[in-house]
Amino acid sequence: MKILVAVKRVIDYNVQIRVKEDGTGIVTDNVKMSTNPPDDNAIEEAVKIKESGKATEVVAISVGEEKAQETVRKALAVGADRGILIKAEGIVEPLAVSKILQKIVEKEKPDLVFMGKQAIDDDCNQTGQMLAALLNWPQATFASKIEVKDKSLEVTREIDEGLETIEVNMPAIVTCDLRLNEPRYASLPNIMKAKKKPIEQINASDLGIDTKPRIDQIKVEEPPKRKAGIKVASVEELVQKLKNEAKVI
């Protein structure tokens, strides 16, 4: 069994992002980048399934600029066997990413495709479901538990009301929630080993996919600033303010 895992390079979740002064986007120059957090869970799960003997190969793929190679390399350092980088410049919308992944799936023929439930930059939460639609595969989104069966997966999903369990026939797409597992750190020897693992580079345009955005981003703004609050001297004062001034209790 082969598992393809899609990973995205995003601004690190600990970085306070800054909006560009001209309102055209977010400042990314000289900003720390890392793997989209739930994509780490996706890689971890694929590697665990391989370690349990149920998968034979884990392939990590990323779509983005040249530097996204680092994100693929990180996936290799925690156990993926080889990598693919699809080079594309600028904003690549989830629809275009899913079309690219569709092409790669047709070529690589994985049994499963894993990725994070959502990227923490554009917060779209679309790619996995879109890829499932394009391939006419089942989708298991927001997975917090995956049980690999013979020809299917039993997946527990995090939904608003609690948990839902579904069975999806393979091949299938799974988008991973943060509760799925505890991603491991790459050890130094494994980081060294990952440098020797192959990463195939392909231009998105060579796949015949138009990655030009369909949605016009008119402007990006900072959220309205909260007006400064006050300090209260005691719990009594706090409760009185909440009751009589803010009227929320």
Contact stretch for another protein (CB under 8 A) within 45-53, 68-76, 198-206, 233-241: 233-241
What pairs with residue 116 in β-bridges?
176
Q: Which of residues 132-171 bind another protein (CB under 8 A)?
A: 132-134, 136-142, 154, 157-169
Pairing of strands 33-35, 139-148: unpaired
d(CA 135, CA 72): 23
Q: Give the residue with the Cβ less far from another protein, 8 or 50.
A: 8
Q: Distances from the Cα of 189 to the Cαs of 74, 194, 226, in angstroms?
A: 13, 9, 47
Interaxial angle between packed helices 94-108 and 127-135, expressed in degrees from 0 to 180 and rounded to the nearest 10: 50
Q: Which of residues 108-137 bind another protein (CB under 8 A)?
A: 120-134, 136-137
Q: How far is the CB of 4 from another protein (least distance, A)?
A: 18
Task: Give the 3-state secondary structure of 114-182.
Answer: EEECCCCCCCCCCHHHHHHHHHCCCEEEEEEEEEECCCEEEEEEEECCEEEEEEEECCEEEEECHHHCC
Q: Which of residues 1-30 bind another protein (CB under 8 A)?
A: 11, 13-17, 19, 26
Is residue 203 a contact residue for another protein (CB under 8 A)? no
Is residue 31 a contact residue for another protein (CB under 8 A)? no
Q: Which of residues 207-226 bind another protein (CB under 8 A)?
A: 213-223, 226
DSSP type of residue 185: P
Q: Give the residue with the Cβ less far from another protein, 76 or 97.
A: 97
Q: Give the residue with the Cβ less far from another protein, 13 or 201.
A: 13
Q: How far is the CB of 198 from another protein (least distance, A)?
A: 30
Q: Give the residue with the Cβ less far from another protein, 69 or 126.
A: 126
Closest listed residue to residue 104, CA positions, set 31, 208, 184: 208
Q: Which of residues 57-86 bind another protein (CB under 8 A)?
A: none
